[in-house]
Structure 1
Amino acid sequence: RERAEARALRLATAIEQAAEAIAITDPNGVVTYINPAFEHATGFSAVESRGHNIRGLLGDEVALPLERRAEEHLTTYDSWKKKITNVRKDGSLVELDLTVSPVRGPGDEVANYTYVGRDITQEAALEEQLRQSQKLEGIGLLAGGVAHDFNNILTGILGYANMLEPDAAPGSTMQEGLHVIQQAAERAAELTKQLLSFARRGKRQNTTVDLNSTILEVVSLLTRTVNKNISVTEHFDTDQATVLGDPGQLQQIVLNLAINGRDAMPQGGSLTFRTWRQGLDAEQVMAHPGAEPGMFVALSVSDTGVGIEKKNLRRIFEPFFTTKALDKGTGMGLAMVYGIVKAHQGFIDVESNIGKGTTFTVYVPATDVVPATAHPADLPRKGHGRILVVDDEEVVRKLTHEMLRRSGYDVVTAADTTEAVAWYRAHPHEADLVIIDMVMPGKDGQECFKALKAIDPDVRAILSTGYGLDGHAQDTLDAGMVGYVQKPYHMEDLITAVADALADQPS
C-alpha cells in the first residue's frame, strides 16, 4: 500500500510540475482538476475552475466545436489534437497545441477526459514572422524586376531630355517641355529607387555611420516641418551607435519612420528617438532571416498617435500598402525602410496599441570603426578615347553613344555579349573602356566581362544596370571592374563614372 501511495504521489507531483497545461474533466466536461500550467494558460485558478464546465475556461467559441469534433473523433480514435487560440481571463491570447484523450472505465465507457496543452505562443509568433518575411521576400523579387525594366525605359526618357535641353532656345516651349519631361522622369526614377530599396537592390555605399548623428540631422529637418503641438526628443543610451552602411539610406530610415510618426499624430503628441547597443544570440535572431547573432545598434522611433490596427500590422511593410488618403502617401515609406534595413543585415520590429501609439525598433549590426570624413568629388570633365558600350536595349545604346560622343569620346556599340566579344577580338587593345549592362539575354554582364578578360586580361570596364549592387552585380564588380553607374542616369553621372574609370588608367 505504501508503495502504491508513493507511486501516486510521484505521479501527482509530476502532473503538478509539468510544463504542459493539464486538465481532467468528467464525461460531461465538468472540470475535476487543473495543474498550475493550465491555470497560467487560462488565467483561472484551480479553485475557480473546479466544478465548472471546461468551456468556461476555453470559451464557447473554442470549446463547443472542440467538444463536438472531439466526441465524434473519439468514438473511433484514442485521442484528438488541434492547435487553438485561447483567450485568457485577462483578455490576452495564448496559442495551445491541445490533445484531448478519453480515460475509459472497466466497461470501456468514458470515465474522464484529459486535456493536455503545450504553449506554442512563441513558436506561432516565430512562424508568422517567418511567413511574413518570406512573403515580403517574394514581393521584393517581383518589385526588383519591375524596377529594373522600368529603369531601362527611364534611362532613355531622362537621358535624352537631359542631353537635349541645353540645345533648346532659352525660354522656348521646347526647353520648358524638356524640363517638364525631366521632372516627371525623375519622379518616376525616385519611385523605382524606392522599389529597389525595398527589394534590397539599390545602389549602396558602405561606410561607417554614427546613428546618433543621423538622428540629430533628421531632427534638425523635422523641427522645420512638424507642427508645434508635436514635441520631438532624443535619448541616446550609447555614444557608440556606429554601424557600417549607406549614410543616405540610413538617414532615409530615420526620416521615413519620423514622418510616419508625425502623420499618426494629427492632433499633436510626442515623437521620441532612442539608440542603444544590444547583444543578440542565435535564438533571438531566429525569426529574422539574414540577421546574424552579435552586437547590434538599436534605434527606436516612438509616437503617441492613433496606433495601427492588428490586421494591418502584418501588411505595413508591403509596397504601396497604406491606410492614408490617396493624396497623402504612396505606401512606399515603410517598404523602403524594410528593404534598407534588410540590406544592412538588420531587422525591424513594431509594437502598436490603438489610441496609444506605435514604436518601430530597427536593429543594425554594430561596428567599432570611427566614421570617416567625406571628400568632395571632382566635377565631370571632357575626355578622349574609344569606348565600347554593350547593352541589349537599343534606346539605352543610342543614348549612351550620343552622351559619350558629345563629351569627346569615340564610341562603338554592341547589342549583346556575342557581338561585343566579336568586335573586341577583331580590334584587340583598341577600347580604352567598356560599359557593360548587367542584365542581357543569353550571356549576362558577368559572362561578357569574363569573355573580354579572356581576350585581354587588362580590359577596363564599368558596370551599368537598373539594379543596384545586389549579390550578382557585386560579384561582377569584384571580378575586376573599375566602376559602376546606376540607371537611369543623367549625362553628368555617366561622364563622371567614365572619367573616373579612365583617370587611373596605366600609361
Structure 2
Amino acid sequence: MTPAPSVPSPVSGALRLALIYLVVASVWIAFSDTLLVWAMGREPPLAANVAKGIGFVIFTAFLLFDLIRRELRRREELSNQYRLYLDHSPDVMYRYRLDPEPAFEYVSPSVTEVTGYTPEQHYDDPHLGMKVVHPDDRPLLEQMVSGRGRPEGPVELRWVRADGSVLWVEQNNRIRIDDRGHRIMEGSARDITERRRTEDEKRRLRQAVEEVAESILITDPEGIILYANQGASNLTGYPRDELVGRNARILRSDHHPESLFRQMWTLLARGRSWRGRLRNRRKDGTIYTQDTTITPVLDDSDEIRSYVAVGRDVSIEEALRSQLEYAQRVELVGQMAAGAAHDFKNLLGIIRLNAELAGAQGVVTGTPALRQALDEVMTATHRGERLVTRLLSMGAAAELTVEAIEARQFMDSVTASIRTILPPTVELVVRIEPATPALMADRGAVEQILLNLAANGGHAMPEGGRLEIRVEPAHGDDDAPMQPGDTPLWTRITVTDSGLGMAPEVLSRIWEPFFTTRSGKGGTGLGLPMVRLLTERLGGRILLDSSPGRGCEAELILPAASPHDPPFLPQPGAGGGADAGPCEGDGDPAFGNVSNNPASETGTARDVLVVDDDDGLRRVLQRSLERMGHQVTALRRATEALERMEEGWVPDLIVSDIVMPGMNGSVFYERTQQLGIQTPFVFVSGMSVAETPAHPLIGGSVLFLEKPFSVSQFMETINLALEDDPKTVLQGAQSGRSPGP
C-alpha cells in the first residue's frame, strides 16, 4: 500500500518563516548601511535611514506575502493528497477526539464497506466506534482509551458488522495531545478475517500433523530432513532435534537392494509420487516396517522444492499376516497329509501283508536269507507307519496317545535311532539327571521331535562336531530353580550342537512351513514346524537359540507325569513300541500267526467278496483269505458287485474299502440292505473310525479295520465277523478298532 503523504505541523512552518525573515533582514541591514556610507562618504542623515527602513519594510512585506502564499498552497496540496489517500485506503482511517466531548473528527469512507456503517453515522454517534466492537473484546479497547492498557501498537479485535456478521480487525492506535491540550486518538483498522482464517487453518493443520500417529518427514531435494513430526520421533526412536538436519538415509536398513532406491529416486525426480513398503532401522537398531508414500513438492517453476514422506507403521499387521500365513501353511500341510493318508496307508498295508505272507512261506521253506530280508521290510514298514502318523499330526488328523513314559528307557531306545541319522564324524552325548521324572506325552511324537532336532544338528555340522542331549527335571516352565523336596512339574530336554549356527534373519523364520536353507539338498521346510506343532499338542513349549559360529540350542519342555501315573515300560515284542519286534503276532515272533488253513476255526470255508479299487491291496487281501481256505471273489468297483447280487448271488462275507470312485463303501452297504442281503461287512480304510463316513454304520454285523494292519489282525477280524454269536461281533465293532493285537 502506498504510504500516506506527510503534512508539516504549524510549529515547523512558523519556525521556517522566522528563520527566513531573520536571514533576509540581517543581510538587508548590513548591505544597506554599507551602501549609504559608501555613497555619501559620511554617516547618513536621519531622513536617509528612515527611507531605508521604509523600503526594507515594504520589501519584506512582499517577501513574507509570497512565502506565506507558497506555504499555504503547499499545505493545501499536501492536505488534499492526504485526504485522497485516506478516502481511498482499504483500511479504516479515523481521528477521534477523546475530550472534552468524545466525537469523530474523521472517518474514512472505507468504513462503510468494512462495517456497513457510513462515516456520517459515526459523526452522528460518537459511541458507534465502541458499539461495533464485539462485546467480549470491548474491555481491551476501553483499557486502551482510558490509558490503563497499552495505548499504542497493533491489537486484534472482533468487530460486528451492521448485518450481525463478525470480522477480525487489526487496530493501530496513537493518542496525542493537540494545541489545546485535548487528547486525540488517531489510528487505522485493517480487516484480517481472511488472514486469521488462514492462520487458523495452518494451526489446525500443524496440530493435526503433530498429533497424527503416522510419521511425517519433510526433506530438501538432497534428502536432508527439514521437519519431523512427533509421530516420526515415536516411530524411529530419534528425538525430533536429532532428525532435523540429518539425511534420511540414517533410517535405512540392509533389507532392501540399492536398485529399489534407484527406482524410487528416478520416479521422484520426474515429479511423481512413490509408494511402497520399507523396512527401516530405529535408533536402537531394531527393525520396523512401514507403508511409505513420498511426494515431491514443486515450486512455481516446476522445480522440486522438497519431499514429503508419510509412513504408517505396519509391523503389527505384518506380524499378524505372517502368523496367518503360518497358520494357512500348517493347514495346507494338514490337508496334504490327510489327503495322502489313504494312499500311504494302502501302500503300507500292501507291503506289510505281502511281507507277512511271504515271511510265513519263508518260515515253512526254511530260507534264512529270505526271512532276514523280509524282517528288514517289516521294520521299514513299521517306521513308515509311525512317520505317516506323525505327518497326519501336522493337520491334527491323528490322535496322540498321551501316557507316562520312563525317561531313561525311552532315551536308551531313541538314542539308537538318533545314531543312525548322524554322520559318523558327529559325537553323540546323552546326559540324564537321576531325578528326571517320567514324561507325560505321546512316545512316537517325542521320538519324532528328537529325531528332527538331531537331524538338523547333524546337517549343521558337515565337518563333524558334538551333539548333546540333556534330560532333567524342571520345576516350572518359568525356569524357576528346583528346591529340595519339590515335585517336578516338567521335564526339560535340551538338544545342543556345535554347528555353524544361524543368522538372525534365518532364526526368525525357522517355524515357517516350507522355509528351508537346504533347498535342493533334501530340505523340505517341514521338520521344525512339525516339531513345534507336536510340542504344542503335547502341552509343552520349545525355544530355539542360535547365532552364527555358536551352534544351536533347542530347549524342549514337556509335562512330567505325576507320581500316580505308572510309567510306560515297553516290553520286548509288544506292538507299537520302539523296542518291539519288527512284526506283531502271537505265533512266529517275526511274522505272526499266519495259518495255512484256519478256516476250521469258523467251521467251514466261506464265500467272501472283496471290493477295493487298489489293485495291490485287493490282491493281497484275496491271497490272505484264500490261505484261510475261503472262496474269494475280488472286484474293483462296488457297482460290479451289486450287479451280481441283483442277479441272485449272496456272499457269506463282504470286505470293502470305504473311499472308492463311483460308489463308496457306505452307499454300497446301504444298497445291499435295500436288496435284503444281511451279509456281515468288514470295512477297511486308511482313515480312523471317527473320520470315516461309515462311522454310523459300525456295530452289530459291521466291523471296521484301520489300514495298515497285520495278517493276524485281518484273520481274527474275518473270523470274528463269521462267528454265529452276534454279541461277540458287536463287542469287537463298538471299540472302533480291530479286535486283533
User: Which residue type is aligned with residue 421 of structure 1?
Assistant: L
Residue 504 of structure 1: SS of its match in structure 2?
Answer: helix
Q: Which residue of 2 aligns with 1:87?
A: 281
Alignment of 1:185-224 (within 5 A): 186-187=379-380, 190-191=383-384, 194-195=387-388, 197-200=390-393, 206=399, 209=402, 218=410, 221=413
Structure 2 residue 437 is the aligned partner of structure 1 residue 437 = no
Aligned counterpart for 1:69 among listed residues 255, 264, 279? 264
Alignment of 1:123-202 (within 5 A): 123-131=317-325, 134=328, 148-149=342-343, 151-168=345-362, 172=366, 174-184=367-377, 186-187=379-380, 190-191=383-384, 194-195=387-388, 197-200=390-393
Q: Say what the alpha-carbon RMSD is for the aligned residues.
A: 5.5
User: Any conservation in 1 of the 2:219–2:308 contact (CA below 8 Å)?
Assistant: yes
Structure 1's unaligned 5+ residue stretches are 279-296, 365-369
Structure 2 residue 623 is the aligned partner of structure 1 residue 402 = yes
Q: Which residue of 2 aligns with 1:477?
A: 695
- Cα distance in 2 between the residues matched to 1:362 and 1:56: 42
CA shift for structure 1 position 168: 3.4
Once the two structures are superposed, what CA deviation does each residue of 1:113-157 show, in whole Å capped at 9, x if it has no partner? Answer: 221222222333343444455456556666666665465455444
User: Any conservation in 2 of the 1:349–1:361 contact (CA below 8 Å)?
Assistant: yes
CA shift for structure 1 position 32: 1.8
- Cα distance in 2 between the residues matched to 1:107 and 1:330: 59
CA shift for structure 1 position 440: 3.0
Q: Which residue of 1 aligns with 2:218?
A: 24
TM-score for the superposition, normalised by structure 1: 0.69
Structure 2 residue 641 is the aligned partner of structure 1 residue 420 = yes
* Aligned length, in residue pairs: 472
1:146/1:493 CA distance change after superposition, 3 Å: same
CA shift for structure 1 position 98: 0.9
User: Any conservation in 2 of the 1:322–1:330 contact (CA below 8 Å)?
Assistant: no
Q: Which residue of 1 aligns with 2:118?
A: none
User: Which residue type is aligned with residue 83 of structure 1?
Assistant: R
Instruction: Judge which range, 48-57 or 349-358, deviates more.
Output: 349-358
Structure 2 residue 738 is the aligned partner of structure 1 residue 494 = no
| Structure with max Cα Rg | 2
| Matched-pair identity in % | 22
User: Any conservation in 2 of the 1:102–1:111 contact (CA below 8 Å)?
Assistant: yes
1:102/1:320 CA distance change after superposition, 3 Å: closer
User: Which residue type is aligned with residue 452 of structure 1?
Assistant: T
User: Any conservation in 2 of the 1:24–1:31 contact (CA below 8 Å)?
Assistant: yes
User: Any conservation in 1 of the 2:659–2:665 contact (CA below 8 Å)?
Assistant: yes
Structure 2 residue 445 is the aligned partner of structure 1 residue 250 = yes
CA shift for structure 1 position 25: 1.2
Structure 2 residue 540 is the aligned partner of structure 1 residue 357 = no
Residue 624 of structure 2: SS of its match in structure 1?
Answer: helix
User: Which residue type is aligned with residue 245 of structure 2?
Assistant: G
1:230/1:251 CA distance change after superposition, 3 Å: closer
- Cα distance in 2 between the residues matched to 1:474 and 1:122: 41
Residue 660 of structure 2: SS of its match in structure 1?
Answer: coil
User: Which residue type is aligned with residue 466 of structure 2?
Assistant: Q
CA shift for structure 1 position 258: 5.6
- Cα distance in 1 between the residues matched to 2:332 and 2:633: 39
Structure 2 residue 681 is the aligned partner of structure 1 residue 461 = yes
Higher relative contact order (CA 8 A, sep 6+): 1
CA shift for structure 1 position 402: 2.6
Q: Which residue of 2 aligns with 1:267?
A: 466
User: Any conservation in 2 of the 1:196–1:468 contact (CA below 8 Å)?
Assistant: no
CA shift for structure 1 position 54: 1.1
Structure 2's unaligned 5+ residue stretches are 1-155, 157-195, 420-426, 479-488, 569-573, 576-584, 587-591, 732-741
Residue 267 of structure 1: SS of its match in structure 2?
Answer: strand
Instruction: Judge which range, 222-231 or 497-506, deviates more.
Output: 222-231
User: Which residue type is aligned with residue 66 of structure 1?
Assistant: F
- Cα distance in 2 between the residues matched to 1:233 and 1:5: 76
1:259/1:101 CA distance change after superposition, 3 Å: same
User: Which residue type is aligned with residue 637 of structure 2?
Assistant: D
- Cα distance in 2 between the residues matched to 1:28 and 1:202: 54
- Cα distance in 1 between the residues matched to 2:298 and 2:644: 86
1:267/1:461 CA distance change after superposition, 3 Å: same
Residue 625 of structure 2: SS of its match in structure 1?
Answer: helix
CA shift for structure 1 position 81: 0.9
